[in-house]
Amino acid sequence: MTTSTTKPYDAEEIEAARKLFEGPWDFVWASTKIDDLPPMRGQEIAFAGRSNVGKSSLINALTRRNSLARTSHTPGRTQQLNFFRQVDHDERLTIVDMPGYGYAAVGKEKVAAWTRLIHDYLRGRSNLMRVYVLIDARHGIKDVDGAVLETLDKAAVSYQVVLTKGDALKKADQQFMTEATYDEIKRRPAAFPEVLLTSSETGLGIPEFRAAIGRVLAEHG
């Protein structure tokens, strides 16, 4: 499900995106500091979100790999930038899993280090096409999410909001939350004017999400 001012995804785009993601995705790099980033290769998309938003599960759903991105019942476990690519296959696209934010139990020094790493990465990665900010569909945009959107707006980094755990909502609530979220982001300067509703459990919105990524990749050549 999407709420958007952009052209709908047609069957051809969805099929092309399915093929884009069907290759053998692998973990290729981890960075805990800005001077340890991998060489830029092809185009990158990054995933940001609160520590318990289901980031790893969504990456696994997109790539059809049950354990590509490590999932955990302990929020805040991802403490580095993790890079994934289809090695020796279609290497045009790299997925970057960013450290989760907003988990109060993590020490302030560690949060500060994560924040510096993320900000430095966003400012210095010229092949970064888009950041996908994941929001729990059950709760919508919280203050901590809004602060991240504000940072992306100020940095002029293109981002798109993706709602996760959409299967937890009734059909009418899915439409309401998608439209309400779109209303919140549509005037933000760096926000792409589309909200996607997804579920890594049921596959809701996953084909459209792949197609959205495929469209961005095509636009960047």
Predicted confidence (pLDDT) per residue in 100-113, tens digit:
887 655 567 776 77
Could you read off the pLDDT of 108-128 as tens digits, one per residue? 777 677 778 888 888 889 999
Q: Is 17 within 8 Å of 213 (Cβ atoms)?
A: yes
Q: Could you tell me where the beta strands, DSSP code E, fall in 77-199?
A: 81-85, 93-97, 128-136, 159-164, 191-197
Percent of the chain scoring above 70 in pLDDT: 91
Residue 78 has pLDDT above 60, yes or no: no
Residue 75 has pLDDT above 60, yes or no: no
Q: pLDDT averaged over the chain?
A: 90
- pLDDT tier for residue 79 given thresholds of 50, 70 and 90: confident
Q: Residue 37 is inside which H or E element, if any?
A: none
Whole-number pLDDT of residue 66: 84
Q: Is 161 within 8 Å of 205 (Cβ atoms)?
A: no
Instruction: Give the whole-angstrom CA distance, residue 169 versus residue 85.
Output: 32
Could you read off the pLDDT of 150-184 as tens digits, one per residue? 989 988 999 999 999 999 999 999 999 999 999 99
Instruction: Give the whole-angstrom CA distance, residue 177 versus residue 170.
Output: 10
- For 97-111, b where at least 16 C-beta lie within 10 A, e where not — what string? bbbbbbbeebeeeeb
Report pTM: 0.92
Return the number of other C-beta atoms located less than 10 Å from residue 25's C-beta.
23
- pLDDT tier for residue 74 given thresholds of 50, 70 and 90: very low
Strand, coil or helix: 220: coil
DSSP state of 42: S
Strand, coil or helix: 159: strand
Q: Find the range with the poorest average confidence among 30-39, 155-164, 195-204, 205-214.
A: 30-39
**Non-local CB neighbours of 77 within 8 Å, separated by 6+ positions:** 51, 70, 100
Burial class (CB in 10 A: 0-12, 13-18, 19+), 75: middle
DSSP state of 190: T
